Amino acid sequence: MAMGVGMSEEGMRPVTELSRTEAVAEWADLVQAVLAANQAYHRDDAPTISDADYDRMKRRLAALEAAFPDIEATMNQQSPTSMVGAAPADGFGKVAHRLRMLSLENAFSDEEVTEFDERVRRFLGLTDAVAYTAEPKIDGLSLSLRYEAGRLVQAATRGDGELGENVTENARTIRDIPQSLTNAPAVLEVRGEVYMSHADFSALNQRQAAAEEKTFANPRNAAAGSLRQLDASITASRPLRFFAYAWGEVSDPLATTQAAAIARLNTLGFQTNPLTMLCAGPEEMLAHYRRIENQRATLGYDIDGVVYKVNDLALQARLGFRSSTPRWAIAHKFPAELAWTELLGIDIQVGRTGALSPVARLQPVTVGGVVVSNATLHNENYIAGRDSKGNVIRDGKDIRVGDWVQVYRAGDVIPKVADVDLDRRKIGAEPYVFPQVCPECGSPAHREAGDSVRRCTGGLICPAQAVERLKHFVSRNAFDIEGLGAKQVELFFKDTLLPVKTPADIFTLAARDAANPLQKLKNRDGFGDVSTAKLFAAIEAKRTIPLDRLLFSLGIRHVGEVAAGLLARHYSTWSAFEAAITHATPGSPEWADLTAIDGVGAVMAQSLVEAFQNPAERAAMDALVAELQVQPVVARGAVDSPVAGKTVVFTGTLEKMTRAEAKARAEALGAKVAGSVSAKTDLVVAGPGAGSKAKDAERLGVELIDEDSWLRLIGE
DNA sequence: GTGCCTCGAGTTCC
DNA sequence: CTCGAGGCAC
């Protein structure tokens, strides 16, 4: 057991008095204790220690790491304090959102806003103006509040949109969030933004500083940190606020327009933003944007743009959603904050697919409340001014080491180099020469005509590619082996005693360790009996793997999660897939079958074929599969609708909806929409003026219905 | 064939 | 975010 468990902090020795050996010992024990507590809490749903003790342990860990910064790196073990976002390592249960919490499409210019309006009207087939609400976009964190029978029963953070964190107890401490509602629908999910005002933020930071606690970089971080306290009494002491602006599941509609729904939320007792305004069209929207922009500095809280939403909820329903954003809303972002700094150097990183990416090493500079010292330089052309023939490159900035460059944080996260100040160029600065060989393995780095990326041709020979491939292999949506993250993989890759060079090596680790009587893994720093056994068990648990995950894990270019799913559903077993790809060459029946999969084109097919023809890749795959039991893929649970799984063709003039709308609607119900009628077609929906396609349907004996019957069929 | 739209892949930082 | 693939309409 850890020394600190159950003890008061006053009873502990200050970390500064500890020797390195003592610190390491205590650190290792604490890590074990915290991990065990995590497991008890999350997996077994049976907490073994109080939240306060847990919190204390994590604080002690953080203190140890602050005093001995290299501790984690030297211990071959990831600390729970650094497992950010790593599942529920931080102590909150997960909550599945009944209705996904989506993100918004962004607009960065007036033109993009008018285009948005045009797109909306085109989709709906409307020439008349469409009305929109416009409201400030609060820079906080979004929260979904669920009320049943008028009582607050659950509060969840956005998370990845599907799964959020359960922060109910913390949300109950926020004054702007009502505990109960009167005259509310039986089920009501209210969504909005938790934020902290400027005044409250500076007061909090003063308090924190006085108490020698850590201060926050900005109000957003302060709000996020405060809401995600394991101890709700700490959240209660933090001045959090809440604006409601949307809803999830509701048993009865709140209203028929966005504006009225917001007003209703206000009546129910929620704070809604006073700058929310109804606009008749793009001109008024942009005028309101300027108005909000002008008030930005005096609002008293952070905002990062203006959100526009189609006002009519019936139109919102018709517009529907794309994969992760609604078609009926857009966020008009304020221009990103910019900062100038000196470019100290340019490094080249080699990615999983061999892509050579230039990274700027910068004189550290504060951008949007965060200190940035690295930033992406995009690609070869972006840095270059002229190509090898001396021609000026379009969009090329001619960036040289030593230059003054402008940096911003794109999407408020990823630092990018936006511009260079040629007037401040130092005399003698040389143009940057992009490497023509891989800096990691020395293989030639080729660039295909028309491609912006130069790639190392070393394949698995290149250590950088090999290790990046391994990191991908163990990543969350791939094999996801507990206790074997990116850091560990890197260490094992370099290890001389128990090297892991390919995915198959992971599955021989335990056997190789057992075969080596002298230097057992469990005797190493950072590994004990328990953690070694746990790691081996975690690896063992992933020996059985569904085909789609396996295909994604292979890291073949152009084959991501979705493509892997398509392939797995088509071939069902590894042996069928393997046989097909091995025999596929352009023109063969296997090739035709492969490219006939909806969503698989020639590029992806070629990429698969090349991977299978490469001896090193093939050997690595064969060795891996020999270690595994690959599960055939179970067919995806179909959407429950009368047209699910059917192939539908729309033809003629549709009168109640546009073609795009009909397609989107049908797809949302699980149907596949095709352009031409064939034997595979299940249903043809014909409007007036339908011609050859209706005849094709008759000829092929495909069911033919009119638009009204279609609408009845799908229940509208 | 061209010009949209949409989505997926790949990349980056803290 | 940016780029490119894939698919569709014209």
Helical spans, DSSP H, in A68-184: 71-74, 110-124, 168-171
Per-residue pLDDT band at A70 (split at 50, 70, 90): low
Residue A611, CB, strand B, below 7 Å: no
Taking the domains of chain A in order of start, what are their residue ranges?
1-80+336-474, 94-333, 481-541, 546-631, 647-713
Quick one: average pLDDT of A621-645? 78
* A541 CB contact with strand B at below 7 Å: no
Does the nearest atom of strand B lie within 7 Å of A415's Cβ? Answer: yes
Amino acid A53: pLDDT: 58
Q: Which segment of A45-49, A483-487, A509-513, A621-625 scores lowest on mean pLDDT?
A: A45-49
For the cut 70, the answer to whether the pLDDT of residue A566 exceeds it is yes
Q: Given a cut of 50, is residue A46 above it in pLDDT? A: no
CATH homologous superfamily of A94-333:
DNA ligase/mRNA capping enzyme (3.30.470.30)
CA of A128 to C1' of B9 (A): 38
- In this chain, the answer to whether the domains covering A94-333 and A647-713 adopt an identical fold is no
Q: Say if residue A97 is exposed, middle or buried (CB neighbours under 10 Å; 0-12, 13-18, 19+).
A: buried
Whether the per-residue pLDDT at A155 is higher than 90: the answer is yes
Please give the nucleotide, over all strands, whose C1' is closest to the CA of residue A413.
Answer: B13
Residue A145 clears pLDDT 90, i.e. is over it: yes
Using a 7 Å CB cut-off, which residues contact strand C? A 106, 108, 378-379, 410-411, 414, 450-452, 558, 598-605, 659, 673-675
- Give residues 252-271 of chain A lying near strand B (Cβ < 7 A): none
**Cα separation, A550 vs A617, whole angstroms:** 14
Distance A295 CA to B3 C1' (A): 41
A208 Cβ contacts chain B strand, under 7 Å: no
pTM over 0.95: no
Q: What is the mean pLDDT of the segment spanning A196-207?
A: 92
A392-431 burial string, b = 16+ CB within 10 Å, else e? Answer: eeeebbbbbbebbbebbbeebeebbbeebeeeeeeeeeee
Instruction: Give tens-digit pLDDT for A406-424.
Output: 888 776 677 888 888 889 9
- Distance from CA(A446) to C1'(B10), angstroms, rounded: 17
Instruction: Give the nucleotide at minimum CA-to-C1' distance from A651.
Output: C9
Q: Is pLDDT above 80 for A369?
A: no
Write the DSSP assignment of A389-412 as a string of letters: TSPBPTT-----TT-EEEEEEETT
> Among this protein's residues, is A646 annotated catalytic?
no
> Can you tell me the distance from the alpha carbon of A309 to that of A396, in angstroms, rounded to the nearest whole number?
37
Is the CB of A563 less than 7 A from some atom of nucleic acid strand B? yes
Determine the nucleotide nearest to A599 by Cα–C1' distance. Answer: C6
Q: Which amino acid is at A418?
A: A
Name the CA dihedral angle for A462, A468, A473, A476, rounded to a multiple of 10 degrees: 180
**CA A377 to chain CA mean position, Å:** 22
Task: Give A663's pLDDT tier (boundaries 50, 70, 90).
Answer: confident
- Domain covering A546-631 assigned CATH 2.40.50.140 in the classification: no
Task: Give the percent of chain A with pLDDT over 70.
Answer: 82
pLDDT at A62: 64
> CA A712 to CA A288: how far, in whole Å?
41
pLDDT mean over A338-358: 87
As a whole number of angstroms, the distance between CA A673 and CA A716 comes to: 18
Distance A410 CA to C1 C1' (A): 7
CATH code of the domain occupying A647-713: 3.40.50.10190
SS3 content of chain A, % helix, strand, coil (to 5): 40, 20, 40
Mean pLDDT value across chain A: 82
* Whether the predicted pLDDT of A55 surpasses 80: no
Is strand B within 7 Å of residue A132 (CB)?
no
Structure tokens at A176: 């702007």
Q: Is A173 helix (H, G, I), strand (E, B) or coil?
A: coil
Protein-contacted bases of chain C (C-beta within 7 A): 1-9
CA-wise closest residue to A147 among A94, A196, A98: A98
Q: What is the pLDDT of residue A647?
A: 76
Section A673-683 average pLDDT:
71
Q: Give residue-wise pLDDT tens across range A81-92.
A: 544 323 333 467
Residue A323 Cβ under 7 A from any strand B atom: yes
Question: CA A451 – C1' B7 distance (Å)?
Answer: 20
Strand B and A123 CB separated by under 7 Å: yes
A13 touches strand B (CB under 7 A): no
Which has more pLDDT, A602 or A263?
Answer: A263
For helices A486-494 and A503-515, angle between their N-to-C axes, nearest 10 degrees: 60
Cβ pair A714, A664 in contact under 8 A? no
The answer, yes or no, to whether residue A150 has pLDDT greater than 90, is yes
Helices (H), A68-151: 71-74, 110-124
Other C-beta atoms closer than 10 Å to the C-beta of A321 total 14
DSSP string, A676-716: S--TT--EEEE-TT--HHHHHHHHHT-EEE-HHHHHHHTT-
pLDDT tens for A265-305 read: 999 999 999 999 999 999 999 999 999 999 998 999 999 89
Instruction: Provide the pLDDT for residue A11.
Output: 43
Catalytic residue from among A58, A94, A137, A680: A137
